[in-house]
Amino acid sequence: MSTPRTPPASSAVQLKPMLIDGAWVSVDRDAFASINPATGEENFRVSAATASEVDRAVEAAWRAVREPAWRDMLQHQRAGILRRIADAMDRESELFAQLQMIENGKVWAECKAQVASAAATFRYYAGVCETICAEVTPARGNYLSMTRYEPYGVVAAITPWNSPLTMEAQKVAPALAAGNAVILKPSEVTPSPALELGRLALEAGLPPGILNVVTGTGAVAGKGLVEHPGVRMVSFTGGTASGRAIAIAAAQKLMPVALELGGKSPHIVFADADMDAAIEAVVGGIFEGSGQSCVAGSRLYVQAAIAQEFQERLVARTARIKVDMPQAQGAQMGPIASFGHRQKIESMVQSARDEGAEVLIGGQRPEAEALAGGAFYQPTILSGLRRDALVVREEIFGPVLCALPFQDEEDLIEQANESVYGLASGIWTADYRRAWRIATRLEAGSVWINTYKQLSVSTPFGGYKQSGLGREKGIGGLRLYQQSKGIYFGM
């Protein structure tokens, strides 16, 4: 097993430039710090885009997408570039994993797995790119009619800090495969993987300006891209409040958007479930990645007949989770991605205490002196909650599980769907007929039965209600970045 390199010392601070039109652009003014959440030390400084850099990126993207070198590139040639990007990510997987680890605190094993997943996403869309077909449609007269799919032109992809490697691949690969130029705006917490992706794309033969990486804040760079008249489509993954603001701005422009937003996913365990397997899945579903996952199973519903036993065994299993520095051998949970986000989690847990919740385990920072300098927080399970408690209703986006009992199927459905979110859900039962009944009634974009958090690039992914608009992944994940045109030949 590979081991991570030592994070850069704060004495070796450098300014990271952004990528515009194939050139590296440094902007000292308003540069921001990348902070290692495990230590509190500064990794490096990062250039912050202003309106000027956003304009330059959009202009460069339009020039590039209109050039014959890209516009007329055959699909199998475009697919070849995507494959070369995937190969380069595999070769440099240690670097990508290291950068994600020091910027958002994910443990080393998870970072390595996410590099492999990102590379696989580029390969998948390379395959889709060179095999996907247009259609000849049934004629209703003396003509030949067909559907042609064309890129929007310039697409803005805005990605979150919790899983930057996979999210950036999930947007950039299909958008490029669809023939667009992309302006990638990563989270200011995790800018480095996107910058390295931009470098590899150029080395793989992607024409300059087809992938631009603009670093900066959401308030300036993100807002500037969303509102820019030259951006024809926006794909965003992040919080629901930000997604709503993007949707409002897009409505003003009559611009299509793809929004993958928050979640408060119910993880359901019936009395006839395989309890050992369910406990492992519940633990992984909420505590992997320190709970900073849109599909985290943050609401646990256990049938009342087994609730007490399940809860006791779940607490015992949670106590064995190794919270440690993300590069430590065997670490299972690293720090929260930022000190500010840990503070938010702590305030949410305090609100639960104020509303009468019982903290079964966790609910505080680790006591280990070696972790005192980082944004660590213990895996936490809350019980005795009212259905309308703040922590039951709102996304915490941290290692906090809300445990609630249910009596029967009707009670369960009412509680599970009693949320503004609808991203994912899980069901544990030995009765396949019951599993089907519940799965068809849950208001969620993904339902896992006797498993949890299984994700495939070939399967559409997205949310119901305030968890988003549109579906990423799968063949439709490429069509998401195209518009259709009807063409008629008179006969």
Catalytic residues: 260
Kindly state the tokens that stand for 471.
Answer: 């579906």
- DSSP notation for 146-194: EEEEEE-SEEEEE--SSSHHHHHHHHHHHHHHTT-EEEEE--TTS-HHH
User: Helix (H, G, I), strand (E, B), or coil: what is residue 451?
Assistant: coil
- Can you tell me the distance from the alpha carbon of 84 to that of 331, in angstroms, rounded to the nearest whole number? 32
User: Helix (H, G, I), strand (E, B), or coil: what is residue 91?
Assistant: helix
Angular region, 40: left φ>0, alpha ψ -120 to 50, beta rest: left
Q: Return the residue matching tokens 């070769």.
A: 91
Is the distance from CB of 398 to CB of 345 less than 8 angstroms? yes
What Cα–Cα distance (Å) separates residue 291 from each residue in 106, 126, 237? 11, 32, 16
Nearest CA to 104 out of 437, 337, 381 is that of 337
* Residues in contact with 116: Cβ distance below 8 Å, sequence separation at least 6, in sequence order: 90, 93
Q: Return the residue matching tokens 């009559």.
A: 254
**Is residue 145 within a helix (H) or strand (E), and if so which, with residue range?**
strand 143-151
Instruction: Give the alpha-carbon dihedral of 345, 348, 350, 355, to 10 degrees.
Output: -160
Beta bridge partners of 143: 490
